Amino acid sequence: MTALIACDLDRTLIYSHRFFISLDSANCVEIYRDTPISFMTMAASIRLECLARTEILLPATTRTVDQFNRIQLPGRPCRYAVTSNGATILHNGVPDTGWRLAVEERVQAGSVPITEVMAELHNRVSDRWVRNVRVAEELFCYLVVDESAVPDAFVGEWSSWCTPRGWTVSRQGRKIYSVPTGLCKSAAVAEVRRRLVDSGELAEHAPLLAAGDGVLDSDLLEYADAAIRPAHGELHDLEWTTTCLRVTRSKGPAAAEEILDWFSDRARKYRQSSIELN
């Protein structure tokens, strides 16, 4: 009688040093080039470790496989993970090639090619505020920007160009993503859910609980049986909502603690109701 918990990582569960007043009581969960770069509060780390003992945790991130593999979350390793915004399903750390092929076909059918997007993007950006332009998994791209120097109109104008061509634009801090609409977290999470039910690891009526903070999480939050988002980030700035959505009272790293408490409470209520029915 476990719940399936699909959770975004960056700015939902884990945070850069910029979000902490002091790192003395923070738990480092990612090191890159010998530098600690991502953290959780100690309280959130303990909550996540406890949650992993009773529920099925499914990280659902826009990070690429390599970027995801840098993270060491507290608790036992997750058997499944969704990376690259749904392009990859990892099972015991191994990418599912069949899923990837299906995603590529869906993307090709619904969006203009990434080469066309990149050509137009290069015409619209400037070295004055763009630090890097990156292509991820050969499927989507993102800018690394100087947050204070990005033209106010850029995201809206770029989104207006992308939307009719089957692409979604999302700004998350110093990164601005351009992602084909067929590439979404909810489809990959639904596939993992189906596999877990088919294998008997998850009851068919078990709830899917989800959390995320950005536009690229919105389809997952809408797909979930119940969802929560932090009181910060892209979705909060847009005042975005959907049915069965909770918004945390806290902002920043403390919001992760509240999200994990909410997951635990909802999962516990599910188990109690299942016992009463039986």
Q: What is the pLDDT of residues 249-264, one digit of tens each?
A: 999 999 999 999 999 9
Residue 206: pLDDT over 80: yes
Mean per-residue pLDDT of the chain = 96
- Sorted by where each starts, the structural domains of the chain and their CATH numbers stand as 4-103+183-277 (3.40.50.1000), 112-180 (3.30.1360)
Please report the pLDDT score of residue 1 as a whole number.
83
Mean pLDDT of 147-159: 97
Q: What pLDDT, in 10s, does the model give residues 58-92?
A: 999 999 999 999 999 999 899 999 999 999 999 99
Q: What pLDDT, in 10s, does the model give residues 131-140?
A: 999 999 999 9
Residue 6's alpha-carbon distances to 187, 195, 208, in angstroms, are: 12, 14, 7
**CB of 188 closer than 8 Å to CB of 60:** yes
Task: Give 276's pLDDT tier (boundaries 50, 70, 90).
Answer: low
Residue 121: pLDDT over 70: yes
Mean pLDDT of 187-195: 98
Mean pLDDT of 190-195: 98
